[in-house]
Amino acid sequence: MRVVMLAPPGAGKGTQGERIASRYQVPHISSGEVFRQEVAKNSPLGQRLRGYLDAGDLVPDDLVLDILMERVVEAAANDGGYVLDGFPRTLPQAKAAFEMAVSASAKVTAQVVLYLDAPPEVLMGRLTGRAEGRADDSAQVARHRLEVYAKNTQPLIDYYSGRGIVVRIDATPPIDEVSRAIFAALDKIEPPRVAAGS
């Protein structure tokens, strides 16, 4: 199962990505999680990333590809798939990732793009109500993140829609209800794997 998740900040793609990865037994590759780990290590890379994350801006395409593409190819080769959460996030990233996959003769192109959607007022409520106190979730930064998402991600949705692989899911309901809708759609593409011993 090879899934790309597209969703505005606050739509729950991290939570749903973990659930999908568990159901189909493939790695969950979250760009945000990878970036935050680097920032926490205070590595030179983390220091570069911190400025973008704190401002709610997108990390530059070349930096994203350098950090994530190797993980994607490895997951496809070793685990038979992946759930990509937050990558690709721009049209240039998607096109570059596709070209890199083709040149590596890797079977890494997505089978399905899950588009989790919710109204802006719902997303703002979730972003500003998070308890972790993340620096990137103040109201001003939250609004900026949603604007950046809308500007950069709509072309991606159009790009993948042209390939006929977009499945739109309403992310407004409770988490379990959203999961059921996602699984109903994905199970038609590939049955869930049964864990060893279960």
pLDDT in tens, 19-64: 999 999 999 999 988 999 889 999 888 888 998 888 878 889 989 9
Q: Which residues of the chain have pLDDT under 50?
A: 131, 196-198
Active site residue 50: no
Strands 2-6 and 166-170 turn out to be: unpaired
Q: What's the pLDDT at 6? A: 92
Range of the domain at 23: 2-187
Residue 40 lies in a domain: yes
Q: What's the pLDDT at 116? A: 95
Choosing from 36, 50, 71, 134, the catalytic residue is 134
Active site residue 48: no
Residue 120 lies in a domain: yes
Number of domains in the chain: 1
Sheet holding 82-85, edge to edge: 28-30, 82-85, 2-6, 112-117, 166-170
Residue 87 lies in a domain: yes
Choosing from 19, 23, 126, 145, the catalytic residue is 145
Residue 198 lies in a domain: no
Active site residue 95: no
Q: What's the pLDDT at 96? A: 87
Active site residue 41: no
Choosing from 107, 130, 151, 188, the catalytic residue is 130
Residue 67 lies in a domain: yes
> What does pTM read for this prediction?
0.82
Sheet strands (E) in the chain: 2-6, 28-30, 82-85, 112-117, 166-170
CATH of the domain at 115: 3.40.50.300
In the chain, the N- to C-terminal Cα span, in Å, equals 20
CA distance 132 to 134: 5
Q: What's the pLDDT at 179? A: 97
Residue 115 lies in a domain: yes
Q: Are 20 and 129 in contact (CB under 8 A)?
A: no
Residue 192 lies in a domain: no
Active site residue 71: no
Q: What's the pLDDT at 194? A: 58
Residue 80 lies in a domain: yes
